[in-house]
Structure 1
Amino acid sequence: MPAKILVLAVLPLLLSFLATLAQAQQESGMPDRLRLGVVVAADEAARERVEPFRLALEDVADMPVDLFLMDTMADAIEALAADRIDYARLSPSGYAAVHQLCACIEPLVTAAPDDFPARFYAILVAKRNGEKNTLADLKGTRLAVGGTHAVTGYRVPLTNLAADGINARAHFSALVEVQDPVEGLRAILDGRVQASLAWSTLAGEAKNGYTAGTLNDFYVAGGRGFNDLEIVWRSPPIPYSAHSLRKDLPDELKRRIRAGLMDLRREAPDAYLAIEPDLPGGFEPVVHGDFRPVLRTFEEEYVTLLNPQGR
């Protein structure tokens, strides 16, 4: 056989061998098992409830999945940082906390409550005054806020207002703590404060207070004066949840799991609802930067601002 013909005959086999070798090298770092952590609080039936998701994750990851039940979000945060689990469904603040501890996780998807984008916002609300209010108009007035641990009622808005150039402690004459965001709206209408922090999906009909959030709660409760309220400021969008994997897992496994999760609501709705019972709208992909509004709350430059004594 002439040498040229021999090379042409062998070339496809060589290329196939090299592709197989590259794939084997890529997957050589695959773990034998995946460790799934799930926060269950006081749910005594959690193991049975989560089982459909664990089984679906085994199919997606193509490997055994071990389930670890966590009492609190803090337990899941610690377990991820200590490399005792590989995967967890975190709150946005939980994701930011793990990143602050070790920068060792990567978000894959977030869940949606409905068919609108899977994001919500911290907002600042004031009373209409004939023309649209601005933050400048509110300088020197009283602002209703939540407790110091409230994500959308305190931490996210204060840090993201600061990122926009507004130090709330200097801009407003007083930060007045209220029992909950709806009480903050009532405080605007009865004159105790001139603005209040709240949250909203900002999706759907504005005339109904949008699909969910403080304005919607006030509207549904028949709050008098609803039409006298307006949104003056909004934070960047915030994902509802963060299904996250440790960064040191192979990229091929991350891609495989993300793709499987994206199809989960359609392919296995029972498995989807087992892990996201309160957010039935399906998964959307996310990246680290999507959590920037919450990540800021852990950054050193904002620590003093979030301190009740900060100035």
Structure 2
Amino acid sequence: MARRGKTAARQALKICAAALAAYCTASWPARADWRDDIGTFRIGIVAEPGGGNTVPGLARLTDAYANALGMKVEFVVARDYAALIEAQASGRVQYAIYSALAYATASERCGCVEPLVAPVDADGAVGIRSILVTRDGRLPDLAAIASHRIAIAPAENVGGALLPLAALSAEGVKIAQDSPFLARAASATAAETMLSGGEADALFGWEPADAEGRSTRSEGTVARLEAVGIPEASLRVLWTSGLLRYGPHAVRSDLDPEAKRRLTVFLTNLKSQTPDVYDLLEATHSGGFGPAAQKDYAMAVAIVRQETAGQE
């Protein structure tokens, strides 16, 4: 009898505990949705030069993002990429549209951002890579570079100066900006003229490439040289760098996964479903958006690190 009494008591305690748990759960407020936590989703963007604080089609873009996320959206127009980076690093904006080097700078600055998507060209190119091109065999190979005259674009030119020097450095070939064999041109076009006119034996240029690293050759240095009359057969590419992906749309890493999913679906379908909105968001690359990952910006990070080291 005593044993049965203890068993009944334990069962009664279990029933009471379950009832109490159910009551407490019902009494607790529902867990706040990620939209409630954010309040207003803020998107940072840099205005075009001379655009002030205005962005074409801003109302249409705001509505499109608001519908995709199911919440209030606000665009924040930054004066430059430095201001945009600071705004996202500090959490004042959850989402930012960057150039490749600006994204790499943000990543190095706080480690708190991640790319969602990046634009693609109509021919499938997802970025550019640097090339070393010679004419009529004037430069036999990369190893002979120091004994020849190499045309190079201005120091701030990404594809024709920053990218090749950073990529070669990563491969163990150290070339300083002021190396005596580099013939610094006033512009990328001037550097091409030096090669075509015989003033240089080779040229650091660029070409578009797809996600597998294949050259699309729809534009770039070789295409430009051929356009001024240099026969394709006389041009030879001796070296190519890794891919520098086009600049991404990036979010803070601590953004809720559901928000990231919604944004990725919205952006990757934007070109096919709402092409006019896509054109407002991306005026340069007409092939739509494709998923992007941190590894896609390894070359951009290499450039930023080399530039930072050069300033120390």
TM-score, L = length of structure 2: 0.79
Aligned residue identity for 1:150:
N
2:302 partner letter: R
The answer to whether the Cα contact below 8 Å between 2:146 and 2:181 also exists between their aligned partners in 1 is no
1:65 is aligned to 2:73: yes
Residue in structure 1 matched with residue 194 of structure 2 by the alignment = 187
User: Partners of 2:300 and 2:136 in 1: how far apart?
Assistant: 29
Q: Which runs of 5+ in 2 are unaligned?
A: 1-29
Deviation for aligned residue 1:63: 1.3
- Percent identity reads 25
Q: Aligned ranges for residues 66-215 of structure 1 at < 5 Å?
A: 66-129=74-137, 133-169=140-176, 173-202=180-209, 210-215=217-222
Match of 1:244 among 239, 250, 263: 250
Aligned in 2, Cα 1:227/1:243: closer, same or farther, shift over 3 Å? same
Asked if residue 269 in structure 1 is aligned to residue 275 in structure 2, the reply is yes
Q: Secondary structure at the match of 1:153?
A: helix
1:298 corresponds in structure 2 to 304
Q: Secondary structure at the match of 1:193?
A: coil
Return the offset for 1:227.
4.2
Paired amino acid for 2:299? P
Residue 173 of structure 1, CA deviation: 4.6
Decide whether the 8 Å contact of 2:244 with 2:300 is kept in 1. yes
1:191 shift after superposition? 3.0
Check 1:186–1:263 CA distance in 2 against 1; reply closer, same or farther (3 A cut): same
What is the SS of the residue equivalent to 1:42?
A: coil
What corresponds to 1:219 in structure 2? Answer: 226
Q: Cα deviations across residues 210-234 of structure 1 (Å, max 9, x unaligned)?
A: 21222223333x2445542221111
Distance 1:123 1:24 in 2: 54
- Residue 38 of structure 1 corresponds to 45
CA distance in 1, matches of 2:263, 2:300: 25
Q: Tell me by how many angstroms 1:70 deviates.
A: 2.0
Query: Match of 2:264?
Result: 258
Q: Contact (CA 8 Å) 2:149, 2:183: kept in 1 or not? A: yes
SS at match of 1:67: strand
Structure 2 CA distance, aligned partners of 1:47 and 1:28? 25
Q: Which stretch of structure 1 is more off in the superposition, 82-91 or 45-54?
A: 45-54
- CA deviations 1:68-124 (Å, max 9, x no partner) are 112322322222223221111100011011112111211000101214131221212
Q: Secondary structure at the match of 1:201?
A: strand
CA distance in 1: counterparts of 2:62 and 2:291, whole angstroms: 20
Distance 1:224 1:75 in 2: 44
Secondary structure of 1:162's match?
helix
Assess if the C-alpha contact under 8 Å between 2:125 and 2:209 holds in 1: no
TM-score by length of 1: 0.79
State the partner residue of 2:25.
none
1:52 touches 1:270 (CA, 8 Å); kept in 2? no
Instruction: Name the CA shift for 1:25/1:230 in 2 (closer, same or farther; >3 Å).
Output: farther
Does the 8 A contact of 1:181 with 1:197 survive in 2? no
Aligned residues: 280
Alpha-carbon distance, 1:261 to partner: 0.6
Q: Which residue of structure 2 aligns with residue 13 of structure 1? A: none
- 1:280 alignment partner, one of 259, 282, 286: 286
Alpha carbons of 1:47 and 1:182: their partners in 2 closer, same or farther (altered >3 Å)?
Answer: closer
Q: Give the CA deviation at 1:246.
A: 1.2
Q: Extract unaligned runs of 5+ from structure 1.
A: 1-22
Q: Give the greater-gyration-radius structure (CA).
A: 2
Q: Report the aligned-residue RMSD.
A: 3.1
The answer (yes or no) to whether the contact 2:148–2:201 under 8 Å persists in 1 is: yes
Q: SS of the counterpart of 1:258? A: helix
